[in-house]
Amino acid sequence: MSITEHELKIELEGIEDPDIGEDIVSLGLINDVTIEDETARISLALNAPYAPSEMELGNRIREVVSEAGLTADLRAHVGSEHGFDDEVLPRVRNVIAVSSGKGGVGKTTIAANLAAGLEKRGAMVGLLDADIHGPNVPRILPVESEPGVTPSEDIVPPRSDGVRVISMGFMMEDEDDPAILRGPMVNKFMLKFLEGVEWGRLDYLIVDLPPGTGDATLNLLQSMPVTGSVVVTTPQEMALDDTRKGIQMFNKHDTPVLGVVENMSSFVCPSCGDEHGLFGTEGAQTIVDKYDIPLLGQIPIHPDFGAEGSEGALVKDDSSPVQETVEEFVAEVSDRIGEVNRRTVAKNVGSGEPDNALPTETED
């Protein structure tokens, strides 16, 4: 006798979320289970495509379904019934803000590598260069064409490999021209980038925020449904002081801080292999201890990473010795996005049965 849908759901209660520590059914991560023609079609409230932790959850579910003698057909969907706002950027699953308390810490390099790394994992990714006065993304991710325009005058972002990119740099006649804009004009450009860009369907939109905690950053946080923020710092005390201010800004605006990445954390001598903390050691650790947030990665100084004259994102270069460190950072960010989203589902759905009248789903 074949297993029933109710019995299969009971079996799925044996799968524990690795980050939250409760079973996926109680957390409300199972939208619906139907069985037809020896196939179990399961809708999951997962929203971080290609995140290692969610891919592992999918594998565990397939194992349980297989043990029940069925073939698994897994799909993922979250929406307003789970507490997710889809009015702004409705076709974007996750918005990740990359910020820094001050300039010069490698924020744009981190944002570009995060975008390229997520795309390399298989996700559909966009990168919004919101640093209006210092639009450097095109230097790191060279695009393949100029921006296009739809009949409705929306901007079509060009691509750098698979990453869709929009930057103020595309609006300049010369890349060295300064963007001399006052507050209202900055807000006008940012509104156009948010509402007037045909991003298509994205798993992740990476937003390279302006440095600091000024009006431009605050306006963006109030305009976008930010899933979480990545805060970039270096080990110097001045950078750490400004990083603390940035974290407090996100906390005041109820924006989850995914964690801190420490750039220029050390220098590894190419001759002897010794590691040197040129700007101090364990600087970011003091931040993560104080605010109880994860350390997403420590990226050393290396000519491949943000060096003058380098082209393209390091994460694309499998031959680089820093490659593994960067890819681990990318995986950690996607895992944190997944955890934040699943906690949101658990908070809004709890142990109750979620609404099964779902819109169009996408394959996990």
Residue by residue, pLDDT tens for the chain (364 residues) are 478 999 999 999 999 999 999 999 999 999 999 999 999 999 999 999 999 999 999 999 999 999 999 999 999 988 776 767 667 788 899 999 999 888 888 899 999 999 999 999 999 999 998 876 667 888 888 887 888 888 988 889 999 989 999 987 676 555 544 444 444 555 666 677 778 889 999 999 999 988 877 666 777 778 888 999 999 998 888 888 888 988 998 888 888 999 999 998 877 776 776 777 666 666 788 888 889 999 999 998 877 776 554 556 778 778 888 889 999 999 999 999 999 999 999 988 754 443 333 333 444 4
Residues 167 and 273 occupy one common structural domain: yes
Cα separation, 127 vs 144, whole angstroms: 14
CA distances for 337 relative to 23, 83, 106, 205, angstroms:
19, 15, 22, 12
Please give the pLDDT value at position 247: 92
Residues 58 and 160 occupy one common structural domain: no
29 DSSP assignment: -
Residue 358 lies in a domain: no
Residues 147 and 21 occupy one common structural domain: no
Q: How far apart are the first and last CA of the chain?
A: 29
Residues 30 and 161 occupy one common structural domain: no
Please give the pLDDT value at position 168: 76
Please give the pLDDT value at position 178: 43
pLDDT, tens digit (0-9, with 9 covering 90-100), for 136-192: 888 888 887 888 888 988 889 999 989 999 987 676 555 544 444 444 555 666 677
Residue 77 lies in a domain: yes
Cα separation, 164 vs 238, whole angstroms: 34
172 three-class SS: coil
Tell whether 79 is in a known binding site.
no
pTM (predicted TM-score): 0.87
Residues 55 and 201 occupy one common structural domain: no
Tell whether 186 is in a known binding site.
no
The residue out of 84, 109, 131 marking a domain boundary is 84
The residue out of 84, 115, 149 marking a domain boundary is 84
Cα dihedral 44, 49, 54, 58 sign: positive
Q: At what angle do helices 323-349 and 107-120 cross, to 10 degrees?
A: 80
Amino acid at 127: L
Residues 46 and 117 occupy one common structural domain: no
The residue out of 66, 84, 102 marking a domain boundary is 84
Residues 187 and 63 occupy one common structural domain: no
Residues 113 and 78 occupy one common structural domain: no
| The total number of structural domains that make up the chain | 2
Residues 300 and 161 occupy one common structural domain: yes
Tell whether 228 is in a known binding site.
no
Tell whether 283 is in a known binding site.
no
Count of other CB atoms within 10 angstroms of residue 83: 14
Cα separation, 285 vs 273, whole angstroms: 23
Count of other CB atoms within 10 angstroms of residue 120: 20
- The domain in which residue 42 lies consists of 5-84
Cα separation, 8 vs 121, whole angstroms: 31
Counting residues of the chain whose pLDDT is more than 90, the rounded percentage is 47
Tell whether 71 is in a known binding site.
no
Residues 75 and 99 occupy one common structural domain: no
pLDDT, tens digit (0-9, with 9 covering 90-100), for 353-363: 433 333 334 44
E-state strands within 221-256: 228-233
Letter string b/e over residues 7-43, b meaning 16 or more CB atoms within 10 A of that residue's CB = ebbeebeebebeebeebbbbbbbbbbbebeeeebbbb
Please give the pLDDT value at position 364: 43
Tell whether 107 is in a known binding site.
yes
Residues 209 and 149 occupy one common structural domain: yes
The CATH number given to whatever domain includes residue 73 is 3.30.300.130
Residues 80 and 104 occupy one common structural domain: no
Closest CA to 108 of 216, 22, 232, 229: 232
The CATH number given to whatever domain includes residue 327 is 3.40.50.300
Q: Which two tokens stand for residue 51?
A: 């995140």
Please give the pLDDT value at position 175: 53
Residue 353 lies in a domain: no
43 three-class SS: strand
Helix (H) or strand (E) holding 39: strand 39-44
